[in-house]
Amino acid sequence: MPDAIPVLRSPRLGADIRADHPAYDLIELLFFAYRDFVSDPDRILDEYGFGRAHHRVLHFVDRQPGLTIAELLDILRITKQSLNRVLKELIEKRFIESRMGTSDRRQRLLHVTPQGHDLALKLAKLQTKRIARALSDLEPDAKELVTRYLVRLIDPDDREHVERLVFGKQEV
Amino acid sequence: MPDAIPVLRSPRLGADIRADHPAYDLIELLFFAYRDFVSDPDRILDEYGFGRAHHRVLHFVDRQPGLTIAELLDILRITKQSLNRVLKELIEKRFIESRMGTSDRRQRLLHVTPQGHDLALKLAKLQTKRIARALSDLEPDAKELVTRYLVRLIDPDDREHVERLVFGKQEV
DNA sequence: GAGATATGTCAACAACGCTGACGTAAATAA
DNA sequence: TTATTTACGTCAGCGTTGTTGACATATCTC
């Protein structure tokens, strides 16, 4: 049914990047990969009455205990009103706790509860299965290369911030 | 501010994949990379009064002229009502044309108009810039490896279908 | 002619983004 | 100390994009 799709041959040598011709394959693979990647946790989230927005909040609070509202907003790139809606539910259902800041008492330091951690872990393990399976019969250095590639897809201005968060790099 | 995050050391040898420990880094990098990747076209889409749903439809119709509704639904994994809403707008604004099928006259064969193709190309080039930049100073075989990785993130049942669509493979 | 299939459409609703406005408490600057 | 800024909470309303359920039409297949 699909007509023959003109295939873009690789450029002759590595340096010659044809940025003028769309890289349809990677654009589309990123769409399909992400589509399936985020779909894994959906069934479980449903059981708790949560959606993907709850998942993202729970994940980052679990990863970084003591996260503030401002930091979370910076990660998620949504408005505080949008965040507040899902965060309120996570707190009411006792998956997340909000504690007053110690040095700055205006801040709210977010922590997962034990049941919050359990759910976060359950969801992370689910996604890890897919990631591990994808990596399983690629070259040994595949993970390192894919990691570097994904980092370089991120906005340059935000890269340092993300690396600090993901890899725990403290030094500049 | 972030406490030291326990780093998962790579397993000793390739086969020993610790699927029980979440691969936090790749989970998060996928989130950040995709977040920024899909944000590029937003400003342009706004000018046309379109959203990300319109973009996805336009993209796949541009890539695969003559795509049917059923095939498009299978790609996007949404309901026909959701699709119809955005597709109707794309047709009304003359970015996409719907033609009656030839062999099966119940089908609608979707095609982009010239202005539809222009927009699709403009958006694809934008996303390609980011992809090319990310690839630009990685090893020459990075693209091939990242491609294989992304393919393997897709649901196994759907992989063949996607490969046919993305790479134009006709033979099984 | 009966039934299955491909599509279109109406209505209602949910999740999750957004803007704008306003309020409070606490830190900081003047 | 007073004024301003900052961090957060909240109310109200709205837009996009997903959902379910029901029903209609044209066309293909048996």
ipTM for the predicted complex comes to 0.89
Span A124-145, average pLDDT: 94
Q: What pLDDT, on the 0 to 100 scale, is given for residue B12?
A: 42
A107 vs A5 pLDDT, higher one: A107
Contact A63 B3 (CB under 8 A): no
Nearest to A57 by CA among A116, A142, A122: A116
Nearest to B151 by CA among A10, A145, A32, A150: A32
Q: What pLDDT, on the 0 to 100 scale, is given for residue B20?
A: 77
- Largest Cα separation within chain A, whole Å, is 64
Q: Separation of CA B102 and C1' D13 in angstroms?
A: 47
The rounded distance, in Å, linking the Cα atoms of A86 and A81 is 9
Partners of A97 in the β-ladder:
A111
Q: Separation of CA A83 and C1' C20 in angstroms?
A: 17
How does residue B147 score in pLDDT terms, banded at 50, 70 and 90?
very high
Check pLDDT > 90 for residue A110.
Answer: yes
A107 touches strand D (CB under 7 A): yes
The answer to whether A95 touches A60, Cβ cutoff 8 Å, is: no
Partners of A110 in the β-ladder:
A67, A98
- Residue range(s) in chain B whose domain bears CATH number 1.10.10.10: 39-137
**In CATH terms, is domain A39-137 a member of 1.10.10.10?**
yes
Torsion of CA B15, B16, B21, B25, to 10 degrees: -50
How does residue A121 score in pLDDT terms, banded at 50, 70 and 90?
very high
- pLDDT tens sequence across B46-58: 999 999 999 999 9
Span B81-103, average pLDDT: 98
How does residue B168 score in pLDDT terms, banded at 50, 70 and 90?
confident
Q: What pLDDT, on the 0 to 100 scale, is given for residue B13?
A: 43
How does residue B169 score in pLDDT terms, banded at 50, 70 and 90?
low
Check pLDDT > 70 for residue A144.
Answer: yes
Two structure tokens written together for B20: 């029980």
Check pLDDT > 50 for residue B6.
Answer: no
Two structure tokens written together for B40: 């590029």
Q: Strand runs (DSSP E) across chain A, as ranges?
A: 96-100, 108-112
Two structure tokens written together for A137: 């019969």
- pLDDT tens sequence across B8-31: 444 444 444 455 789 999 999 999
Span A137-145, average pLDDT: 92
Contact B30 A37 (CB under 8 A): yes
B170 vs B6 pLDDT, higher one: B170
How does residue A7 score in pLDDT terms, banded at 50, 70 and 90?
very low
How does residue B94 score in pLDDT terms, banded at 50, 70 and 90?
very high
- Closest Cα in chain A, distance from residue B88 (Å): 23
How does residue A60 score in pLDDT terms, banded at 50, 70 and 90?
very high
**Closest nucleotide to B51 by C1' from CA:** D16
Span A15-31, average pLDDT: 80
Q: How far is CA A165 from CA A91, A143, B1, in A?
A: 23, 18, 10
The rounded distance, in Å, linking the Cα atoms of A3 and B110 is 13
Two structure tokens written together for A136: 């399983």
Check pLDDT > 90 for residue B126.
Answer: yes
Span A21-25, average pLDDT: 92
Contact B145 A148 (CB under 8 A): no
Residues of A in contact with B29 (CB under 8 A): 147, 150-151, 154, 162, 166
